[in-house]
Structure 1
Amino acid sequence: MTPLIQDRTAALLLEGYGWLPDTRRRTPVGGTVRTRLLGRTAVALHGPEAVRFFYDEDHVRRTGALPGPVLDTLFGRGAVHTLDGADHRVRKALFVGRLTGPAAAASFAAHAETAWETAFAPAGRREVVLFDEAALVLARAVRDWAGLPYDDGQVQDLARDCVAMVDGFATPGPRHLRARRARSRQEEHLARAVEAARASAASAADTPFGAFVRHGEAEGRPLDLHTAAVELLNIARPAIAVAWFVAFAGHALHRWPETRARLRADEGDGGRPGPYATAFAHEVRRFYPFVPFIGGLAARDLEWRGEPVPEGALLLLDVYGQNHDPDLWPDPYRFDPGRFLSRPPHPDTLVPQGGGDTRTGHRCPGEDITVAALAALSRALARQTWTVPPQDLRIPLRRIPTAPRSGVRIVLPPA
């Protein structure tokens, strides 16, 4: 008789990022991690081979995999993340066409740098909370880059609400309620904007906003207003979530000040960030905690390393644990951008935003934009003069998502 496996949802909420790596360490070497979450049988996968297994659509489906509270805060009902097969490929193609590739990444990074320079231009600014400032900078950048319908006052609301959506998706209580209200507000705003754009020349604008206004689904019908709003938020929200990485970058520059000189001197083609800034961005994404794991459902009865996985079981891809696995990363708790200078990261090994193929699978289409923007803003931060006053810079691993407790306060010199 198979022993009853205890549900570990409460343990996940208490232990945070360490829950799955610790569960793996308590499992015999070579054994498969079996547990229960939200009342479902769950099997945890880890390593590059697991990434390939997890992102094979013959193995894992997304439809029904994300619980309602996550959809109502982070991704939105009907989002591309919830689709499979032809529906996913048609919807994903729109994201891929607009968000991937060097040109899109460079364009967004340039908008982010411009917004950063504008934010830090006013004389007399003395103290800045880096996380808050980065969220507003990135909101302005994604508005201008994507053609989103927000004036200067509304873009501050967009920044605040997108931060709330990410901050409250993985926890019960007030943070979760704030996230739900934030998503409702922004979905309503964007649905009205899409409706107005379809009745005007704005629908033809050659921007990501215009593309979603015009987009047709696999059946040839246009996106309904709600789904169009959801997907536009799935451009804005991840772009603004780069604020977490910018705050971590500030934390790294303070803790390892030798990286500041390397970043200041870094120069690529046309004045763009060069190889060290890109390596620094990759290491920030690897070293600091962001996504703990990613989930999907077994599409059929499967076998993983000789162990049966029943259809409908929850499959968990261990992200935080893989990015700190000593078998993949020598001395994984040492911050070392140099590990990415000699060669780019393998897509099945570095998975801070998930794995798989960007064009045909479920890998985040905005990953190139994330890296480019983080490299640009990290270099901009390194080139500024600032000090760090006494504050609480601890990063609590029990909190998902986490960040330095103070948000990283920096003091700028007098004008």
Structure 2
Amino acid sequence: MSITIKQNPFKDQLLTFFKDGYLFASRQRSKAGLPADSHCPVTINALGGKATIIRGEDAVDFFYDESIIKRDGAMPSLVQGPLFGEGAVHTLDGEAHKVRKAAMVAMAYEDTRVDAFREYVEEEMKAVIERWKTKPGNVYDDVAVAYGRAAFRWAGVPASDEELNKRATQMSHLLDTFGEVKQNVLAWIDRKKLDKWAEALIEGVRSGATTVDADSVVQHMADLRDENGELVSAKLAGIELQNLTRPTVAVSRFAAFAAVALVQNPDWAQKVKAEVEENGGRLINLPIATAFAQETRRVYPFVPMLPGFVTKDAEVSGCPVQKGQRVLMDILGTHTSPKVWENPSEFNPQRFLDIEDYEQVKGFLPQGGGSVQDGHRCPGEKIAVAALSSTIAALSADNVIIAQEADDTTFSMTQLLTRPSTGVRVSVA
């Protein structure tokens, strides 16, 4: 059964969510009198109606069952608009989602395209290391630009270095304004600028004024069609082009956390360093660095919860839910549940060294769960892991000096989205 918290029926918990941040779900469970490890659903007043918070492996099966859950309209517009864009694949259901998702999977999930991205991100990370030799920086900001540049080059975006840097910075800023209600207007301004830029690029490709490689991501997005075979608008094609590049920029937040984890787990840092040396200094295709990246994505907070609407009366973890009701998938709660992970508070990359296919780990949801091809799992996850593991490999070198002051290694669990306030300062000797 579900626990319904007695609340003022006129009080919506959305503002409480922004105040409590990543602690919201656990605090709601505590208010319901549930033990910390409980997977019992909790129903609250949120987003204009009843919302049930769910977590655990049974909840994953439920939330990613498209016969039960739909996404359209579930996420508040103040979040969805700046991050994903109007009409983006994340908001679709049914045949429309199937067709759009197939187009995105063909670009971001195929191994040959992922391998091409690895080369770009390695090159950009080595360039960052070189710049840090003369001018110290911080992991979050500098790696965000490196990731953006790698993603744009991988996609075949024709632009100057200055333009690539500018767009990567704007995409990074969208994340920094997430959860900051007062700064939401700034996020919308950046979104409008990015939409205008991407739309113009698509229009240029379609008209022939801009020439790109025939098999590039840009060209394929310019040719993007809907479930009826109709060419989508240039604006929507530009939005989806961003959705194939912006998520890579977002990985810089995990890069900052990975820097903290390297400082706090020197034994694993040494293992990564030795692996890089054995690999001839290359920053790609490194199992230990990849396992370190996966554990970083599990342990450190990024997406707190994901919303969906129930399309028919159903049951989750013994709790009845009604058609039209909103459910909130507790990502962090699932990643930290002792019923899903052994010693979940321990940072231990070894748990991923023993896993051949992390997509089959039901309780691992940093970029969604379920099937990449047929569900709502992000098709760019392999690219995200490639970017993060390359950065971990680069940061493990002896001459890389990661700051260890309190504001470099700590972060607020009530801030959305959180990260160390300095971005984790770094220099290269």
Structure 2-normalised TM-score?
A: 0.91
Greater mean alpha carbon deviation, residues 18-27 or residues 215-224? 18-27
What amino acid sits opposite 1:319 in the alignment? I
Distance 1:231 1:215 in 2: 9
Q: Deviations over 1:287-320 (max 9, x none)?
A: 1100101111111222223432122211111101
SS in 2 for 1:333: coil
SS in 1 for 2:181: coil
Q: 1:220 to 1:406 in 2, by over 3 A?
A: same
The yes-or-no answer on 1:181 pairing with 2:189 is yes
Q: 1:233 to 1:384 in 2, by over 3 A?
A: farther
Q: 1:311 to 1:116 in 2, by over 3 A?
A: same
Where do 1:5-404 residues align within 5 Å?
A: 5=9, 6-27=11-32, 28=34, 31-122=40-131, 125-174=134-183, 176-200=184-208, 202=211, 205-266=214-275, 272-344=284-356, 345=358, 346-383=360-397, 385-389=399-403, 390=405, 392-393=407-408, 394-404=410-420
What amino acid sits opposite 2:366 in the alignment? P
Contact 1:127 1:409 in 2 (8 A): yes
- Aligned-residue offset at 1:334: 1.6
Distance 2:392 2:380 in 1: 18
Contact 1:162 1:236 in 2 (8 A): no
Structure 1-normalised TM-score?
A: 0.94
The yes-or-no answer on 1:410 pairing with 2:419 is no
Q: 1:13 to 1:276 in 2, by over 3 A?
A: same
Greater mean alpha carbon deviation, residues 51-60 or residues 114-123? 114-123
Q: Deviations over 1:50-101 (max 9, x none)?
A: 1111111111011111221122211100000111111001100111011114
Q: 1:109 to 1:26 in 2, by over 3 A?
A: farther
Q: Percent identity?
A: 33
SS in 1 for 2:378: coil
Distance 1:365 1:123 in 2: 32
Distance 1:9 1:122 in 2: 42
Q: Deviations over 1:332-381 (max 9, x none)?
A: 22211112112243431111122111001111111111111111121111
Distance 2:388 2:228 in 1: 38
- Aligned-residue offset at 1:30: 6.0
SS in 2 for 1:364: coil
Distance 2:132 2:370 in 1: 46
Distance 1:34 1:350 in 2: 23
- Aligned-residue offset at 1:130: 1.0
Q: Deviations over 1:242-265 (max 9, x none)?
A: 111111111111122222210112
- Aligned-residue offset at 1:178: 1.6
What amino acid sits opposite 2:390 in the alignment? A
Q: How many residues align?
A: 411
Aligned residues: CA RMSD: 2.0
Distance 1:30 1:351 in 2: 16
Distance 1:114 1:305 in 2: 47
What amino acid sits opposite 2:313 in the alignment? D
Distance 1:135 1:30 in 2: 35
Distance 1:374 1:10 in 2: 32
What amino acid sits opposite 1:407 in the alignment? G
Q: 1:347 to 1:379 in 2, by over 3 A?
A: same
Distance 1:126 1:353 in 2: 33
Distance 2:157 2:362 in 1: 33
- Aligned-residue offset at 1:405: 1.2
SS in 1 for 2:251: helix
Q: 1:203 to 1:160 in 2, by over 3 A?
A: closer
Contact 2:309 2:324 in 1 (8 A): yes
Contact 2:72 2:93 in 1 (8 A): yes
- Aligned-residue offset at 1:276: 0.8
Contact 1:273 1:379 in 2 (8 A): no
Q: 1:63 to 1:385 in 2, by over 3 A?
A: same
Unaligned runs of 5+ in 1: none
Q: 1:117 to 1:51 in 2, by over 3 A?
A: same
Q: 1:56 to 1:124 in 2, by over 3 A?
A: closer
What amino acid sits opposite 2:21 in the alignment? G
Contact 1:101 1:368 in 2 (8 A): no
Distance 1:159 1:383 in 2: 26
